[in-house]
A and B are shown apart, each in its own frame.
Chain A
Amino acid sequence: MPLLSLANVTKAYGGVPALRGVELAVGPGEIHALMGENGAGKSTLIKILAGVVAPDTAEIRLEGTPARIDSPRQAHRLGLRFIHQEFNVVPALSVAENIFLGRAYPRRAGAFVDWRRLNLAARETLGKLGITHIDPSWSLGSLTLGDQMLVRISSAFIGEEGAPARLYVLDEPTAALNRGEAERLFTVLRELRATGASVLYVSHRLDEVMATCDMATVIRDGRSVDTGKIADITHDDLVSLMIGRRVEEAYPPATAAPRSETVLSVTHLAIRGGRPVSFDVRAGEVLGIAGLENAGQRNLLRTLFGDLNCAGGTMRLTGQPFRPRNPTDAWRAGVSYIPRERRSEGLIVSRPIFENVTLPHLSAQSRWRALLTPRREMRLAAEQGQRVRLKAAGPRQRVRELSGGNQQKVVFAKALAGQPRLMLLDEPTRGVDVGAKFDIYALIREMTARGMGVVLASSDLPELIGMADRIAVMREGAITDIVAAEEIDEERLVNLCYGRVTG
């Protein structure tokens, strides 16, 4: 008998159906993947389970018994635990305090918190999940995002009177994690499974799902389209189930080889917190940047973009000396940048699409560099929107109302609107669904076909191998190897990132 079964779940928002009949059955002691593109209805389904959104119709059974979930409190009582990206933790408190937050702390003499026992209990809780590298007395804010998430999970793991945790629901938990942190999370999930608890795991990242989950349910357009054992399904099948068509290739092939002329030439460039780096990017080339989290990729891109000042070394852009003092200089020179954090760095979500697209190019789009010409701007935004296959109501639509993939396309439209010579991309497909991902890859190919140079920093190693011509590996703030993408496989690239072998 399944631990949780859902049938005939429907929900419409203002007449627009979000769910049209979803079925889902999570067995005991299994890690069950819930997959689907952005907008497929995953988050609506999760919100219904959490008691945040009321379904129009739903048959919910827990271990065969019909159940109603009217409120988050009710969901908690039924043993459902939700771990979101924005978890409710207090960074200034210690790990132990956070684990027991909202519960009774052990006391001494009835009044004083018994810190020693609190830390011991916290250590025991962490230990049950095989987490031994976190000291309960550390302040939570000093931990990496991944470790913070592990603390949150172990907090949810603590049994409570009358409401033991039975099902953990993790919504895109690895979106902000690096590879090592994600691996650790998977280990903990397997520990959880071993204790008999179940996990409902929502993720875009196919490789993770293939490696970690037992079962998968795919939903598309508000319906469950298939469910089955992960062992019986291939990567490609999953993708085509999710997007409803077959994807021939995960990465579109390059149509032309990189040209001989150099777009960007960097010599002994000093980057903050690292050692000097030297490399070239040719016209039509994708130079991948690989490395563990915080190996200096971000600082390198920010230095190239003028946001961090370089302390020494030289840069040349199509042969001319290039020394941007700020992003304004970089845009003007034809360098554009796709930042890592789409919502906080890439977009002004409260403003219309066209204002976002034209913002870096506003002077060129204006009369006497000062008077706005909205019609011209709107035309440019529409052109670029078409180019990046943006799905939106029109250039005046506010960015906030778009899905994640379409928001990222607005960022691309903005970067492309000025006809750049060099594009700096920092994790351009993070948190983007499969269909939009493919569009973005196609866009990168189109850019290189026009002779642009592309620097692509990514933690998605297959993406780097699939898209880049050469890959520069960064470690501890320096470029340690530059390898040809076609001569390397994922395993060797991982080893290079960790510095276990040399190129």
Chain B
Amino acid sequence: MLTLVRRYGTLVGFAAILVTFWVLLPDTFMTARNWLNISQQMSMLIVVASGMTLVMVMGDFDLSVGSMASLAGIVVAILFTLGYPVWLAVSLALLVGLLGGAVNGLLIAYVGILPFVATLATLTIFSGAAFVVSGGKTISGRVIPEEFGSFARGGLPLGEWGGIAVSIPNLTLLAIAIAALVWVLLEQTTFGRRLYAIGGNIEAAHLSGVPVRKLKLAAFALTGGSAALAGIMYASRVASANPTQGSGLMLTAIAAVFLGSTLSEHGEPRLLYTVLGVLILGVLDNGLTQLSVDSYVRQILVGGIIVLAVSASSLTRKLRQ
């Protein structure tokens, strides 16, 4: 019984939320259009949360993903102003993400700084760099190539729905691809297995021949890369970049992973549940926005629901012992 509450409490809550929105918003909520819209709004978060899952599997976390996303958006935009082609600008911005993440990994795995301290420091550094590079201004307008902005607006046509053309947004497809990639990494490769081993018992993993430091470095680099990709996606979506663009991503990504881990059998982060966690948060935000709930009240509600889900899960676990 308690196990059921622990595992399925969040799901039942999610179902209740869905039904509530469906009843309150009969015309707009349960429509293909709205769900495709949600998926697009959530695509950046899915990418960041997937990357975050990699490090949270090891029991670490990365606070710098938000400011890395901002920095990557700025880098890509600045490179456009310098006349770089899209493919090169995007690749270089991704490289910045991988390198920034690798710096996190170096500080944590090789220097031995706590993830909280290390990524808090790099959060500040990346954010400062974004301001320095951009001069604190929003970069937009004609310097952003048309093809870059149109990527986010485009999609894969699905057909007609009630007389309106419906398509799966490119950003959604990209997010699904990244989530799939991280799922394969975590669930199907030796890399993922070893990350879980590190998260379970770092000393035993080390003595079992797991190269702990190298893997931490790699995982943090990938997390940085995912944050950069999300920043680039965001810049494409709004066809502009400003140095605080990604700041909301970090907390929500960590919340999504936590929310997802309450759903998994043994309470550990797993990619599919992370995606589900993102979805729950996305649906909440979408429904509350449609109901014209004030955005600050929305924040309070979303925060409260995270606390509720995670404490229900940990309380029932405690009771079971």
Chain A residues with a Cβ under 8 A of chain B? 305, 307, 326-328, 330-332, 337, 339, 344-351, 355, 359-360, 362-363, 366, 369-372, 398, 414
Contact = CB atoms under 8 A, between A and B. Distances in A.
Interface stretch (B123-131, B192-200, B231-239): B192-200
Contact of A414 (B193, B206, B208): B208
B151 to A, nearest CB: 31
A381 to B, nearest CB: 13
B209 A331 contact: yes
A32 B74 CA distance: 74
Contacts of A363: 190
Contacts of B189: 366, 370-372
B120 to A, nearest CB: 27
A348 B209 contact: no
B205 A348 contact: yes
B205 A362 contact: no
Given A327-B207, A327-B208, A398-B266, A349 B188 contact: no
A370 B191 contact: yes
B197 A327 contact: no
A398 B201 CA distance: 14
Contacts of A337: 207
Interface in B175-195: 188-191, 193-194
A347 B204 contact: yes
B158 to A, nearest CB: 33
B203 interface: yes
B190 A362 contact: yes
A348 B193 contact: no
Which 8 pairs between the two chains have the least Cβ-Cβ distance?
A348-B200, A331-B209, A328-B209, A359-B208, A360-B209, A348-B201, A350-B200, A360-B208
B268 interface: yes
A347 B201 contact: yes
Contact of A351 (B197, B203, B207, B210): B197
B225 to A, nearest CB: 19
B211 interface: yes
A362 B191 CA distance: 10
Contacts of A349: 200-201
8 contacts: A328-B210, A331-B209, A355-B193, A355-B196, A359-B209, A362-B194, A369-B190, A398-B266
Nearest to B190: A362
Nearest to A411: B204
Contacts of B196: 351, 355
Contacts of A326: 209, 211
Interface string B220-235: 0000000000000000
A339 B200 CA distance: 17
B317 to A, nearest CB: 13
A344 B204 contact: yes
A497 B153 CA distance: 78
Contacts of A332: 209
Interface size class of B (residues with CB under 8 A): 20 to 34
A153 B208 CA distance: 37
Interface of B: 188-191, 193-194, 196-197, 200-201, 203-211, 266, 268
A346 B188 contact: no
A132 B262 CA distance: 52
B206 A359 contact: no
Contacts of A305: 207
Contacts of B188: 371-372
Nearest to B198: A348
A359 B203 contact: no
Contact of A339 (B190, B205, B207, B209): B207
A348 B207 contact: no
Residue among A305, A307, A328, A351 having the largest count of chain B Cβ atoms under 10 Å = A351
Nearest to B185: A370
Given A327-B206, A332-B209, 17 more contacts: A326-B211, A328-B211, A345-B207, A348-B197, A350-B200, A351-B197, A351-B200, A355-B196, A359-B194, A359-B205, A359-B208, A359-B209, A359-B210, A371-B189, A371-B190, A372-B188, A372-B193
Contact of B209 (A327, A344, A346, A370): A327
B195 to A, nearest CB: 12
A467 B197 CA distance: 33
Contacts of B194: 359, 362
B269 to A, nearest CB: 12
A229 B285 CA distance: 72
Contacts of B205: 348, 359
Contacts of B208: 327, 331, 359-360, 414
B204 A345 contact: yes
Residue among A305, A307, A348, A371 having the largest count of chain B Cβ atoms under 10 Å = A348
Contacts of B200: 348-351
Residue among B196, B208, B268 having the largest count of chain A Cβ atoms under 10 Å = B208
Contacts of A348: 197, 200-201, 204-205
A327 B203 CA distance: 11
Contacts of A330: 209
Given A328-B211, A355-B197, A346 B190 contact: no
Nearest to B192: A372
A384 to B, nearest CB: 14
B188 to A, nearest CB: 6
A307 B207 contact: yes
A398 B205 CA distance: 16
B270 to A, nearest CB: 13
Given A327-B209, A351-B197, A359-B210, A372 B204 contact: no
B288 to A, nearest CB: 36
B190 A345 contact: no
A349 B205 CA distance: 11
Nearest to A359: B208
B201 to A, nearest CB: 4
Nearest to B267: A350
A246 B209 CA distance: 40
B4 to A, nearest CB: 15
B204 to A, nearest CB: 5
Contacts of A366: 189-190
Contacts of A351: 196-197, 200
B189 to A, nearest CB: 5
A302 to B, nearest CB: 9
Contacts of A331: 208-209
Contacts of B211: 326, 328
B208 to A, nearest CB: 4
Contacts of A307: 206-207
A367 B210 CA distance: 18
A112 B267 CA distance: 48
A364 to B, nearest CB: 10
Residue among A330, A331, A350 having the largest count of chain B Cβ atoms under 10 Å = A350
B203 to A, nearest CB: 5
A360 B208 CA distance: 5
